Amino acid sequence: MGPANRKPYLVVGLVLATTLGIVAAVGDRDPLHQDLMLALTPPSLRFPLGTDHLGRDVFARLIHALPRSIGIAMTSMVVAASVGTIIGLTAAASNRLIDAALMRLTDLALAFPGLLLAMVLAGLLGGGAVPVLVGISLAQWPQFARITQSIAATVLTEPHIESSRIAGLAEWRILLRQVMPRILPQTTALATLSLGGAVLTISSLGFLGLGLQPPTPEWGAMITELLPYMDAAPFQIAAPCVALFLTVLSCMAAGQRLAEVR
């Protein structure tokens, strides 16, 4: 691998190291501490991004919101990838009737807007991490089912698969040992690409008041809280917007890179 090919990994490593360093630096700063006497304080050495309308440290809230958003997004991708992969493998390894039924179910789920589904679930269940996670997972699994079924159906027609069956190898062993290694690179790239969309969905729900509930730090909720003070606190409201943009952009870039080298 030449220097040009190593650049993306060096950049990702540098970003991760910087992020961990920042998290460690502000780890002891309370993102929930309020001081109304310091409300809407402009950026300073004490408060690098200023304070919000309740006198809370915007920088501390911004950093503490990162693991929550990424954690929920990653968990939802794991759940969606697991469910979608199981359904896709089942469809590819079954007869035509079951295959067609599972794929029509997948098409039906794909036709339903993911953000709307997450909003409905979060609204019905009162918001919070679990409804958001379930909503994103339900919206994302059809993509994994589709790509898994497509790859598995092709692999299962190859001559070495038939040889394995003749040799008496169980179908589930064939799927695990010979089909899954062909699927994993594709699903990993798709999960990384979808991670940015999941983070954006979490922030969108937070913006609408259907995501993580106050006073929990969350980028979308931070934007909503600071909207009435946009003129007095431009840096404070810009901070979560920029953090969200960079996070989604990084996920998309990483996913694109994985797709290129699969």
Where do the domains of the chain lie? 52-261
Of the chain, the percentage scoring pLDDT greater than 90 comes to 32
Fill in the DSSP letter of residue 83.
H
- pLDDT for position 248: 86
99 is written with which tokens? 């295959």
66/239 Cα distance (integer angstroms): 12
User: What digits encode the pLDDT tens for the residues 47-101?
Assistant: 989 999 999 999 989 888 888 888 899 999 999 999 999 999 999 988 889 999 9
Lowest mean pLDDT among 33-47, 159-173, 215-229: 159-173
| Answer CATH for 52-261 from 1.20.140.10, 3.40.50.620, 1.10.3720.10, 1.25.40.10 | 1.10.3720.10
pLDDT at 16 over 60: no
pLDDT band at 142 (very low <50, low <70, confident <90, very high): very high
CB 65 within 8 A of CB 71: no
212/204 Cα distance (integer angstroms): 11
142/149 Cα distance (integer angstroms): 10
198/220 Cα distance (integer angstroms): 13
User: What digits encode the pLDDT tens for the residues 157-215?
Assistant: 888 877 777 777 777 788 888 889 889 888 988 888 888 889 999 998 888 888 888 88
Q: Is the peptide bond before 67 cis (omega within 30 degrees of 0)?
A: no
Lowest mean pLDDT among 20-29, 31-40, 114-123: 20-29
Query: What integer is the mean pLDDT of 95-121?
Result: 86
CB 64 within 8 A of CB 24: no
pTM: 0.82
Q: Which residue has the tokens 């493998």?
A: 89
Helices (H), 158-233: 159-166, 171-174, 180-207, 219-226
User: CA angle, corner 81, sides to 76 and 82, nearest 5?
Assistant: 100
Residue type, 216: T
58/51 Cα distance (integer angstroms): 5
- pLDDT for position 250: 81
